[in-house]
A and B are shown apart, each in its own frame.
Chain A
Amino acid sequence: MSATFWIIIAGAVATYLTRIGGHLVISRFDNIHPRVEAGLNAVPAAVLTTLVAPELLNAGPAEWAALVVTAVVSLRGGLMSMFLAGAAVLIIARQFVG
């Protein structure tokens, strides 16, 4: 079996643990400490930010334009519209600046 296969299996097990873990662990406690809950709330935004921020270092004008448009559209639209707007700007800008 390839390494990719094992990454997928381990990722699947880890994911299932998050889906059943709250029921098995957290629901046994009557109270979650507010600081712990604040930390848990912050996890998705914190992880996803680290996947965007370093890309800014290597980004050219086309990539910057795409990210700015994505951020602006996000103030009004949903995930789909902001993604499509960002992707459209990226594709068009790359035709000119490569």
Chain B
Amino acid sequence: MSAEAISESRAKSDFWQGVRLSMPVVVASAPFAVLFGALAVDNGFSVLEAFLMSALVFGGASQMVGIQLFGQHVAPWLIVLSIFAVNFRHVLYSAGIGRRIAHWPVIQQALGYFILTDPQYAVAEARAASGRTVGFAWYLGLGLPVYVFWVIESALGAVFGKLIPDTHALGIDFLLPIYFLGLVMGFRKRPLWLPVVVASAAASIIAYKTVGSPWHVSIGAIAGVLLAVILPPHHSGVKARP
């Protein structure tokens, strides 16, 4: 076997190893992809628009936020700002994974950052932490199935969502707050979680009552983040990095 053939067959086996690791993520995200499609249609998106959003944004929570605000007829720039805010955590993933994939060609890096989701970061970082290299074939094997299924299932959900006759009886209109509460609870192990949540909740309710929607989103979020910044660092569990 030539050296080229050996490296090609290694890339193939790396790819399929990544695919195997992607399967739990594919299964776990499937219901949310279908749900996104159905809710997107319920909030006034077309099937094509739901499909496009999944294909281009590829970020579950932020897509849900987008359609929720779209349904409330919020100004477009505020919808985009809210999507940006929900996705802002990727900045940290991007800074972390950048060290691991810096040896890839630039085009591969550009693609790698496009599919950088929460589980993609977690699994790739775990591999790097165990001393193995994060190769492009492996990384693509991990991310591509998640992407392809996410987009297809979103479109299926959108088609299915058009067929639901009584969305109130099925609770469709209140599924997003339940989903968002689930996400909020998922962050509860983070330092300062409770004070941040209390501050954001109080500020957003007051803003909702006084200034009105959609400003409660920005005002509430700023209140929580400011509190985290103002509290002394020893409370936030964050130490300066070496």
Tally of chain B residues near chain A (CB < 8 A):
101
Chain A residues whose C-beta falls within 8 Å of the C-beta of B168 in the assembled complex: 94
* Mask: chain A, 50-73; 1 = CB below 8 Å from B; 0 = not: 111111110000110011001100
B122 within 8 Å of A by Cβ?
A: no
How many inter-chain residue pairs (CB < 8 Å) link A and B?
283
A47 with B217: CB separation less than 8 A: yes
Contact of B182 among A19, A36, A74 (CB under 8 A): A74
Task: Please determine whether A23 and B113 come into contact, CB atoms closer than 8 angstroms.
Answer: yes
Cβ-based interface call for B85 (8 A): yes
Q: How far is the CB of B26 from chain A (nearest CB, A)?
A: 13
Rounded to whole angstroms, the CA-CA distance of A50 and B207 in the bound complex is 10
Tell me the minimal C-beta distance from A23 to chain B in angstroms: 3
Contacts of B183 in A (CB 8 A): 44, 48, 79
Query: Which residues from chain B sit less than 8 Å from chain A, CB to CB?
Result: 28, 31, 44-46, 49, 52-53, 56-59, 61-62, 65-66, 68, 70, 76, 79-99, 109-110, 113-114, 116, 168-171, 174-188, 190-193, 196-197, 199-205, 208-209, 213, 216-217, 219-231, 233, 236, 238-241
Q: List 28 A-B contacts (CB under 8 A).
A: A2-B49, A10-B76, A11-B62, A11-B84, A14-B80, A18-B87, A18-B94, A22-B91, A25-B95, A27-B99, A31-B241, A32-B241, A39-B226, A42-B224, A42-B225, A44-B89, A45-B196, A45-B197, A47-B82, A47-B221, A48-B180, A53-B220, A57-B208, A66-B178, A67-B181, A70-B181, A83-B31, A83-B179
